[in-house]
Amino acid sequence: MKQFMFLFKGGDEVWDNKSPEEQEIHMQHWQEWIGKIAEQEKYIGGERLYPRVNTIEPGGVKVTDRPLVEAKEIVGGYIIVKADTFDEATEMAKGCPGLQWESSVEVREVWPMED
Amino acid sequence: MENRDHIDTTLNHLFRQESGKMVAVLIKIFGTENIEMAEDVVQDALVSALETWKFRGIPDNPKAWLYRTARNKAIDIIRRKKHSKTIDFSDPQKQLLTSGYTLKTTMNNFWEEHQIQDDFLGMMYACCHPDISQENQITFILKSLCGFSTKEVAKSFLTSEDTISKRLYRTKEYFRKHKIRPEIPNKSAIVPRTEAVLSAIYLMFNEGYNSTNADQLIRKDLIGQAMLLCRSLLSVERTKLPEVYALMALMCFHAARVDSRVTTEGSLVLLSKQDRTKWDIALIQSGQDYLNRASFGDRLTMYHLEAAIAYEHCQAKYYVDTDWNKILEYYDLLLDIANDPIVFLNRSLVILELKGPKEALKVLDKLKNNKLLENYYVYHATLGEVYYRLSDPTLSKVHYEKALQLTQSKWEQQFLKDKIDSKR
């Protein structure tokens, strides 16, 4: 089975404008979605990220602490899952609850380890 | 600032009732290989409560406060230990604890009210695993599920804290090595496994009821905790067995009489001399209710019969009203179930009441040379009484003195000394 990373982008503003109760319900949806993937033994792991960004520019000298990218391009987190095909992974990603809160999901195949 | 004593009492009560449940949930999260971690979280929550409540007062819902604090501390630990190998996250449900997306929700699901009772009972069955000695079972239950300190457990067993620590260590090692999963056994195993749990509960109760050396607070605590554990078995459908109701009834009848068994100076009072107005009528009433509910199914256990005997005593308004014939019937049934020399010995006391000392001696004769009874002070005290009533003061004294040598309890020793003096 191949591994895929789902990158969740944007949606931070929507999150910030919701009440704690709404946020809690939203996180239950995440739990249900990831829970189902885990039940099929296809979940590997993942993390949520804070929106603050520092970018080290090429060359490694200049540091920008304000992202030039738009808010909707900021990666808010990722998870890694197992799937047989790119299409299967893409279908899986469509269940992400963040999509309802203006996040987008980028599906990427993980480069396998060299034998 | 809140009154310190009030906080202590509230917390102490809460802790005795809830700490076991919290420990059980946390063991489910961390695994049986991390029992100390679970106990530490609960202990930390208690310390936090003490410190916070001292300044801000007792919260409106102290129980919820304590649970929330324990849960948040568990979240902190998971965050810290996520990448270490201490906790096994391989189970799909636990895997979700490793990501910020799912940690809080998954953690909350572990603390769902309806699951907690099952987890608690599951842990009780795990503690009463047939491979663990009964002594170690009870030690562990008191420490982990009843919130006793090592010192309090040591006091309950009249032994050193060191001994208790060793027993706890051995039990924890067993859990670690065998990766015991706390769960309520399935239908085919529930009866024998519950038997072990009930036996531990009853032993714990008797430790409180009979151990005349331990201090009063500890004794009442043991009695209360044993009854709490038994009642918790009755709160879950799968463990509502007839014998559980029967043991509950038995403990109610005994507990109802606990205050009349000892004088304020601390000497034992025989059943015939007890002030029956001191008996707790409400407890006797609940005992009766439990006993009524114990009579479904086709099993008649020793708890049923012992409860029936205790009920007969509770029901008699005066000692002379006791229905000894009925009690003798119960003893005969009891002997059919368990051919136990101590049951036989107790039955001889009923014979003494019903048919007099000659008949009692005949019955007791059958117990001659029984090694267990030879070293049991009640056996000799009984013989002392029987010979006294047969007007044989010499043999009576021999047996009373033998009894005196065999008991360590100060109350019992005093009781026997008074007997010897009065019969001179």
Please give the pLDDT value at position A113: 75
CB contacts, 8 Å: B92 with chain A: 35, 38-39, 41, 43
Helices B4-30 & B113-127, crossing angle to 10 degrees? Answer: 80
Please give the pLDDT value at position A69: 66
Q: Answer yes or no: do B102 and A30 touch at CB < 8 A.
A: yes
First CA to last CA across chain A, in angstroms? Answer: 15
| ipTM of the complex, rounded to two decimals | 0.81
Q: Does residue A30 carry a pLDDT above 80? A: yes
Please give the pLDDT value at position B71: 96
Q: Answer yes or no: do B102 and A35 touch at CB < 8 A.
A: yes
Q: Answer yes or no: do B101 and A38 touch at CB < 8 A.
A: no
Q: Of the candidates B95, B104, B109, which has its C-beta nearest A38's C-beta?
A: B95
Please give the pLDDT value at position B145: 92
- How many whole angstroms separate alpha carbon B286 and alpha carbon B226? 16
Taking residues B241-261, what's their average pLDDT?
94
CA distances from A70 to A14, A52, B172, B287 (A): 14, 13, 54, 72
Is residue A53 within 8 Å of residue A65, measured between CB atoms? yes
Is residue B155 within 8 Å of residue B46, measured between CB atoms? no
Residue B410: pLDDT band with limits 50, 70, 90: confident
pLDDT digits (tens, 9 = 90+) for B266-310: 677 888 889 999 999 999 999 999 999 998 888 899 999 999 999
Q: Is A23 on the interface with B (CB under 8 A)?
A: no
Q: Answer yes or no: do A31 and B109 touch at CB < 8 A.
A: yes
- Chain A, 62-81: which have a CB under 8 Å from a chain B CB? 77, 79
Q: Does residue B187 carry a pLDDT above 70? A: yes
Please give the pLDDT value at position B264: 73
pLDDT digits (tens, 9 = 90+) for A77-104: 999 999 999 999 999 999 999 999 999 9
Between A80 and B368, the higher pLDDT residue: A80
Between B209 and A23, the higher pLDDT residue: A23
* Average of per-residue pLDDT values in chain B: 90
**What percent of chain A shows pLDDT beyond 90?**
73
Please give the pLDDT value at position B158: 77
Lowest mean pLDDT among B42-46, B230-234, B256-260: B256-260
Q: A interface mutation test: which of B101, B106, B108, B110 has the most A CBs within 10 A?
A: B101
Q: Is B133 on the interface with A (CB under 8 A)?
A: no
Q: Answer yes or no: do B101 and A34 touch at CB < 8 A.
A: yes
CB contacts, 8 Å: B93 with chain A: 35, 38
Q: B interface mutation test: which of A31, A75, A101 has the most B CBs within 10 A?
A: A31
* Residue B116 CB neighbours (<10 A): 18
**What percent of chain B shows pLDDT beyond 90?**
64
Please give the pLDDT value at position B103: 93
User: What is the pTM (predicted TM-score) of this model?
Assistant: 0.84
CB contacts, 8 Å: A48 with chain B: 99-101
Please give the pLDDT value at position B225: 93
- How many whole angstroms separate alpha carbon B56 and alpha carbon A2? 55
* Residue B395 CB neighbours (<10 A): 14
Taking residues A6-25, what's their average pLDDT?
93
CB contacts, 8 Å: B106 with chain A: 31, 35
CA distances from A103 to A14, A25, A43, A45, B316 (A): 9, 16, 20, 19, 76
Q: Answer yes or no: do A41 and B92 touch at CB < 8 A.
A: yes
Q: Answer yes or no: do B100 and A48 touch at CB < 8 A.
A: yes
- The beta strand positions in B233-294, using DSSP E, are none
Q: Of the candidates B96, B100, B109, which has its C-beta nearest A38's C-beta?
A: B96
User: What's the DSSP call for residue A105?
Assistant: E
Reading the block at residue B234, the tokens are 């009755």
CA distances from B417 to B109, B174, B349, B407 (A): 61, 45, 20, 12
**What percent of chain B shows pLDDT beyond 70?**
98
Q: Is A36 on the interface with B (CB under 8 A)?
A: no
CA distances from B10 to B4, B14, B58, B144, B229 (A): 10, 6, 9, 20, 20
Is residue B22 within 8 Å of residue B30, measured between CB atoms? no
pLDDT digits (tens, 9 = 90+) for B21-34: 999 999 999 999 89
pLDDT digits (tens, 9 = 90+) for B53-81: 989 999 999 999 999 999 999 999 999 99
pLDDT digits (tens, 9 = 90+) for B136-175: 999 999 999 998 889 888 888 878 899 999 999 999 999 9
Residue A20: pLDDT band with limits 50, 70, 90: very high
CA distances from A91 to A95, B259, B280 (A): 7, 70, 68
Q: What is the CA radius of gyration of chain A?
A: 16
Residue B368: pLDDT band with limits 50, 70, 90: confident
